Amino acid sequence: MTSKASSYETLLSVDVSKDTKKKGKFNYLSWAHALHLLQREYPDATWETKRFDGLPYLKTELGFFVEVSVTIECRELSQLHPVLDNRNQPIAKPTSFQINTSIQRCLAKAIALHGLGLCVFAGEDLVYLDALEPEAISGVGEIKELAYKCEITERVLLEKMQSREPEIKFIAHASTELKQAVIKWLKETLQQKEQVND
């Protein structure tokens, strides 16, 4: 008897490649396509724009933020997203249109937390690598790809690496030796995971 795939596995397997577009340095999945694909797989899924004192945004000294949660099969996941301009810079005094646009982007990312289109956002956090030296970048892509396959979040991975090199803030800041050790560990973890699934 085969077990039913989890909602995460089901949504992760949905091909979104024909619905993505390039926008600047990033691949982009529109909220409308993400929502359509989600509803096709899980018509009972719900989403909610979170309110802050009755407003659909949070104003802080760091900028404006919006939050959207998506619930699939009783599992609610929430995404907090800054209100950004078309260059991905914070907007000091956003208009209602800019807040609405950020809510829509946040919805697409909240859907991705459940697996749908997650691959589109992988690497979005790597833009800062353009400014780093080649030796710093070496191994980062492989580490992130292996961690993704092992279902290990970047935060958990970074915390593990910080236990050996507490001063690092990003994976790219780790020493070459540590990155090589992490790659070896992730490969072993993935191999064990594949053996269990066989």
DSSP for residue 117:
T
What pLDDT was estimated at residue 164?
Answer: 84
- Residue 126 in contact with residue 20, Cβ under 8 Å? no
Q: How many domains does the chain have?
A: 2
Residue 192 lies in a domain: yes
Query: Are residues 94 and 147 located together in one domain of the fold?
Result: no
- Residue 38 in contact with residue 139, Cβ under 8 Å? no
Q: What is the mean pLDDT of residues 19-39?
A: 84
Query: Are residues 97 and 176 located together in one domain of the fold?
Result: no
pLDDT digits (tens, 9 = 90+) for 167-183: 776 676 778 888 888 88
Nearest CA to 55 among 94, 12, 90? 94
Structure tokens at 56: 């659909």
The percentage of residues in the chain with a pLDDT greater than 70, rounded to a whole number, is 84
Query: What per-residue string of b and e applies to 147-176 under the rule 16 or more CB within 10 Å gives b?
Result: bbebebeeeebbeebeeeeeeeebbbbbee
CA 186 – CA 148 distance, rounded (Å): 10
pLDDT digits (tens, 9 = 90+) for 127-148: 444 444 555 556 677 777 777 7
- Residue 109 in contact with residue 121, Cβ under 8 Å? yes
DSSP for residue 55:
B
Query: Are residues 112 and 26 located together in one domain of the fold?
Result: yes
What pLDDT was estimated at residue 1?
Answer: 41
pTM above 0.85, yes or no: no
Query: Are residues 56 and 135 located together in one domain of the fold?
Result: no
- Residue 45 in contact with residue 71, Cβ under 8 Å? yes
Query: Are residues 29 and 81 located together in one domain of the fold?
Result: yes
Q: Which residue segment(s) compose the domain that 41 sits in?
A: 19-121
